[in-house]
Amino acid sequence: MGLRELREKALRELRGNGEGVRVLSDRIYDYDIYNDLGNPDKGLEFARPDLGGQRRPYPRRCRTGRPSTNLDPKSESPANEMMPMYVPRDEAFSDGKRRTVDAGSRKGMMNNLFPFFKHSIEGDSINSFADINNLYKESRNRSNFPVESTADAFKFDPPNIVSREASCCLRDDEFGRFTLAGMNPISIERLKVFPPVSKLDPSIYGPTQSALREEHLISHLDGMSVQQAIEKKKLFTLDYHDVFLPFLSSINAHPNRKAYATRTIFLLTQFGTLKPIAIELSLPSMNPFKPSKQVITPPEDATSNWQWQLAKAHVCSNDSGAHELIQHWLRTHACREPFIIAARRHLSVMHPIHKLLHPHMRYTMDINARARELLINADGIIESLFSTKECSMEITSLAYKNWRFDMESLPADLIRRGIAEQDPTEPHGIKLLIEDYPYANDGLLIWSAIERLVKDYVNHYYPDSNSIQSDSELNTWYYESINVGHADLRHETWWPKLSTPDDLVSILATLIWISSAKHAALNFGQYHYGGYVPVRPPYMRRLIPNEDDPEYSNFVSDPEGYFLSSLPSLKEMTFLLSVLDMLSTHSDDEEYLGDRKELSTWRGNPEIIEAFYRFSMEMKAIEKEIDRRNSDPKLRNRCGAGVSPYQLLVPFSGPGVSCRGVPNSISI
């Protein structure tokens, strides 16, 4: 009680009043919309709509208070040397973290420098897959050749996840496996309705019916009808139709960007793997006499083989954009930040929930600010490297309308996507319909451990509902997270209530899950899963020609050349590889899940220290269990000849690009 007045005074100083320009020495936390992504003063082509509000709903960010642009008084001017990007100083990178990020930038510049001059002199066109393979160092045992050759000095490490075979295209088995154990394992859903139906307005986007029909699938269903396969829960889908179709006219207006809105149907085989059996490619309905949708099925001859390869490349291009913009940026980085701002504004550093969440908020606001400055801004890295161009952030705003916090826990997400069903007899309370689903299998181990830790912690401090309801700091934090931080969705009825200890356990476990394991699964595999462009292109430059298209004869005469000309240029590939390498890097000062640094904070609470110790032991046991699973030949999505082990949810890692390790927080 003696400290209550001091706690309230400290929190008032952190909140600010929503006015004034922030300087780097400030410790003020306030909210703002995303009105700082464009730069109309540089040119109208660099103007971007504000995100946040009824028209374009969006989570709130930390306010910086920079002056408005000259041409748009509602938009905030970009950061510059005179007025750098503001981050509350307690959220800023440490010197060690900053050195790691700066070193990654320098490494990327060096890797780009030689190829840039080489391609400027020799040309940037791709004549064969050998030109792409030449971007990488020789794939050999580096321990036997400790001295790097001059030829390899400016080349990239070969991604060790994706196979680079003679065909150099994505194999069907890899295509299916990467939806379950790749860099985006959270988009796959069970197919429940056939043909699929769009939810877009038909008066704007044309008929809602899919072009997929039973005759496209029947020969691949092992004797089942489509309805039987659906009833047996054997059909799954990657459906990006409604995500991309509203933006295709803008995307395809660019001379070097061409995209479809794709749907892919997969069959769950008797071996527990996913087999792609049909791809639907949709374009805006521009000509009533020319179909805007086509379906491509597994090949029967040489021509259909290359059409199938191009179709898979377009699906992967869709998936790359959806992964980076929606699953990664929106659902982890952007949606997590309002909870952090509210925590700093309303939870005293002495509050037990602040102490629990503190390591799970580390560096997130700093990395988000850097993203607004370099990654998601007008003409930034995302617009330069992905198909979505200037539509990128509007796509995330449309996706945010369907975001639900109550569906962000791992079990709820799996059930929502139809991948799992509730089953109290199972260890985690749910039954997976795809038994060999590495992301879900490993993730459930971590989720359950987080839930147990949080339950022990919450029950220690909050023995009953009265203790929850009487905690003004706690309730104000949660209220503001929703009503200010996520103001555009504040009236939704799905927001979890905060009335009981169980309510608090669910909310906190979900926040910790998003900050740690979910983000790790989406982030730290980017280089090794996305670093070989023919297998996972970030965008395509050509559509698939039909027989009446002028390009069709060129495609038939040189299908490999047509495929290569559809990929990004060699310069753009080197830029992409540099970015993915930096984003996939663990820093030297990384703090991993289960590695608590400040246990002395609970010196007077041995029960809490014991709970953290048990959690740390669980993380070590989970690491051993994942290693065991990766050696089990029955698990074909993570073990087998040429099959990469799934290690993204192994809790611990050393520094660098390891494709493993679960940090406590969203820190890159």
Catalytic residues: 328, 333, 519, 523, 668
Options 2.170.150.70, 3.40.50.300, 1.20.245.10, 3.40.50.720; CATH of 1-86+328-528+582-657: 1.20.245.10
| pLDDT confidence band for 106 (50 / 70 / 90) | confident
Nearest to 540 by CA among 155, 205, 259, 242: 259
Give the pLDDT score at 139: 62
Mind listing the pLDDT tens digit for each residue in 481-505?
A: 999 999 999 999 999 999 999 999 9
CA distance 307 to 655: 41
**Is the pLDDT reported for residue 166 higher than 60?**
no
Confidence tier at 143 by pLDDT (50, 70, 90):
very low
Strand partners, 209: 197
Residue 641, Cβ neighbours under 10 Å: how many? Answer: 5
Phi, then psi, of 590 in degrees rounded to 5: -60, 140
pLDDT at 105 over 90: no
C-alpha to C-alpha distance for 87 and 63, rounded to whole angstroms: 9
* pLDDT value at 67 more than 70: yes
At 539-574, the pLDDT tens digits run: 999 999 999 999 999 999 999 999 999 999 999 999
Tell me, what's the pLDDT at 163?
A: 58
d(CA 266, CA 279): 9
Strand partners, 156: 136
| All residues at 6 or more sequence positions from 395 whose CB lies less than 8 Å from its CB, including other chains | 243, 244, 247, 321, 325, 326, 388
Q: Is the pLDDT of residue 119 over 70?
A: no
What pLDDT band is residue 658 in, cutting at 50, 70 and 90?
A: very high
Average pLDDT over residues 97-125: 71
Q: What's the predicted TM-score (pTM) here?
A: 0.95
> What is residue 70's predicted lDDT score, i.e. its pLDDT?
78
**First vs last C-alpha separation in the chain:** 39
Model pLDDT, residue 291:
63
- Closest to 657 (Cα-Cα) out of 577, 573, 596, 594: 577
Report how far residue 618's alpha carbon sits from residue 614's, in angstroms, rounded to the nearest whole number. 6
Q: Provide mean pLDDT across the span 461-475.
A: 97
Report the pLDDT value the prediction gives residue 72, as an integer from 0 to 100.
81
pLDDT in tens, 5-25: 999 999 999 998 888 889 899
Q: Where are the domains of the chain?
A: 1-86+328-528+582-657, 172-323+540-568
Q: Which residue has the higher pLDDT, 274 or 104?
A: 274
As a whole number, mean pLDDT of residues 214-219 equals: 97
The yes-or-no verdict on residue 469 having pLDDT over 70 is yes
Please tell me whether residue 266 adopts helix, strand or coil conformation. Answer: strand
What's residue 2's pLDDT?
82
- Work out whether the CA dihedral 337, 339, 345, 351 comes out positive or negative: negative
Predicted local confidence at residue 290, as pLDDT: 61
Report residue 661 as tokens: 């390790």
CA distances (Å), origin 346, targets 65, 227, 333: 21, 53, 21
Residue 120 has pLDDT above 80, yes or no: no
Residue range 172-323+540-568 in CATH 3.30.1330.10: no
Distance CA 382, CA 380 (A): 6
* CB neighbour list of residue 255: distance below 8 Å, 6 or more residues apart: none
Alpha helices in 271-374 (DSSP H): 302-322, 335-346, 352-357, 364-370
State the pLDDT confidence band at 28, using cuts at 50, 70 and 90: very high
pLDDT of 116 strictly over 60: yes
Distances (CA, A) of 415 to 322, 433, 661: 20, 10, 26
Residue 394 pLDDT: 98
Per-residue pLDDT, 253: 96
Residues 6+ positions from 379 with CB-CB distance below 8 Å = 39, 46
Judged against a pLDDT cut of 70, whether residue 167 lies above it is answered with no
Would you state the pLDDT for residue 616? Answer: 97
Question: What is residue 115's predicted lDDT score, i.e. its pLDDT?
Answer: 64
Query: Which amino acid belongs to residue 486?
Result: H
606-643, pLDDT tens digit by residue?
999 999 999 999 999 999 999 999 999 999 999 999 89
